[in-house]
Amino acid sequence: MEFDNEGCNSGPQFNFVYCGVILLLTIALACFGQPADALAEKNAESRGAYIFKAAGCVGCHTRAKPKGKFLAGGRRMETPFGAFYTPNITTDRQHGIGNWTYADFVAAMREGKTPDGSVYYPAFPYSSYTHIHDEDLRDLWAYLQTVPAVSEPRREHDLIFPFSLRFSVRGWRLLYFEASRFVPYPKKSLAWNRGAYLTRALGHCGECHTPRNLLGGLDKGRELAGNKNAPDGKRVSNITPHLKKGIGTWSESDIRSLLRDGSLPDGDFVGGSMTEVVENGTSHLTDKDLQAIAVFLKALAPHEGP
């Protein structure tokens, strides 16, 4: 038996052993290569599951009453412009986003653009999600691919004129929206930067806690200073460290507790839509991430609010 292989030219006996070893190594690599890939994939999914929770996607995209299927949409959102019904974002090809490419997903999240080139209403909080890191968007997408398809048709929004015309959003976008990315502030600590990212990008806390002007634009000069007229018409607390109007008397540990299980410093529990934010979102975050949010909130400019 002869091997005519350049790498195996030291006699037939040796050749056989040597090439055999190489062959085995190749087979081993091929075999172990696969689980390693699958593992990397799995990590992307579990990282994505964490992003998904930090970003609170489930509450809006799953009907509450009667309880709907996971991410099949149909949740009604009351606003001064009428009622929105969230779309199905399961992997269903007909009614969900099963036909989407990753580029479609990025355009939706970062730019608020639909696959056919139209624009989304800001009831989908892409003004915040536009700041999500590229890696996190990729992981989030990997996670969404694991969501079972639910064949449930979407329901049209029920908005008042002229907001019922989708292109009416273009004016709002000109004034208040710019596709963006989170840029770390080198002068601030790592914890502050992580907290800023969790609060401004993923947690989209400002969508409820920052006051808006008449046209529905966020008043960035009064970040998180509370909202007398939240989208659902309710009052949202001032969470800047203002001593009288905000949470200036809270410790970092008080903030962590509220976000972990909804408990307030006085022993009561938080109510309203914050219950759901805690349940679906912040209660799943690591202590380190909760601490980062606390550090960021304590460092905000204290503001009296509207």
- The distance of closest approach from Cβ of residue 69 to ligand HEC in the complex, given in angstroms and rounded to an integer, is 16
Q: Are 128 and 140 in contact (CB under 8 A)?
A: no
Using rule CB under 6 A, residue 149 touches ligand HEC: no
Using rule CB under 6 A, residue 201 touches ligand HEC: no
Using rule CB under 6 A, residue 95 touches ligand HEC: no
Point out which span in 18-26, 28-36, 121-129, 177-185 binds ligand HEC (CB under 6 A). Answer: 121-129
Q: Quick one: DSSP state of residue 147?
A: S
Q: Is 134 helix (H, G, I), strand (E, B) or coil?
A: helix
Q: Are 143 and 52 in contact (CB under 8 A)?
A: yes
- The distance of closest approach from Cβ of residue 302 to ligand HEC in the complex, given in angstroms and rounded to an integer, is 13
Q: Which is nearer to ligand HEC, 8 or 202 (CB)?
A: 202
Instruction: Determine the longest span between alpha carbons in the chain, in angstroms.
Output: 90
Using rule CB under 6 A, residue 258 touches ligand HEC: yes
Record the tokens describing residue 37, joined without a space.
């890939």
CA angle 22, 27, 29 (to 5 degrees): 95
Spatial distance between the Cα atoms of 113 and 121, rounded to a whole number of angstroms: 9
Using rule CB under 6 A, residue 203 touches ligand HEC: yes
Using rule CB under 6 A, residue 292 touches ligand HEC: no
Q: Are 294 and 255 in contact (CB under 8 A)?
A: yes
- The distance of closest approach from Cβ of residue 35 to ligand HEC in the complex, given in angstroms and rounded to an integer, is 29
Q: Is 3 helix (H, G, I), strand (E, B) or coil?
A: coil
Using rule CB under 6 A, residue 196 touches ligand HEC: no
Using rule CB under 6 A, residue 264 touches ligand HEC: yes
Using rule CB under 6 A, residue 89 touches ligand HEC: yes
Residue with tokens 């009064």: 222
Residue with tokens 């929770």: 53
Name every residue whose Cβ is closer than 8 Å to that of residue 161 and which is 6 or more positions away in sequence. none
Using rule CB under 6 A, residue 300 touches ligand HEC: no
Q: Which is nearer to ligand HEC, 55 or 225 (CB)?
A: 55
Give the CA radius of gyration of the chain.
25
Q: Are 54 and 281 in contact (CB under 8 A)?
A: yes
Q: Which is nearer to ligand HEC, 8 or 71 (CB)?
A: 71
Using rule CB under 6 A, residue 120 touches ligand HEC: yes
**Can you point out the beta strands (E) in the chain?**
76-79, 82-85, 158-159
By rule CB under 6 A, what string of x and - marks binding of each residue 230-249 to ligand HEC? Answer: ----x-xx-x-------x--
Using rule CB under 6 A, residue 197 touches ligand HEC: no
**Listed residue (204, 184, 192, 195) closest to 289, CA to CA:** 195
Using rule CB under 6 A, residue 84 touches ligand HEC: yes
Using rule CB under 6 A, residue 277 touches ligand HEC: yes
Q: Which is nearer to ligand HEC, 3 or 276 (CB)?
A: 276
Q: Are 142 and 45 in contact (CB under 8 A)?
A: yes
Using rule CB under 6 A, residue 225 touches ligand HEC: no
Binding residues (CB under 6 A) for ligand HEC: these are 55-57, 60-61, 77, 84, 86-87, 89, 97, 108, 114, 120-121, 123-125, 129, 140, 199, 203-205, 207-209, 234, 236-237, 239, 247, 255, 258, 264, 270-274, 277, 282, 293
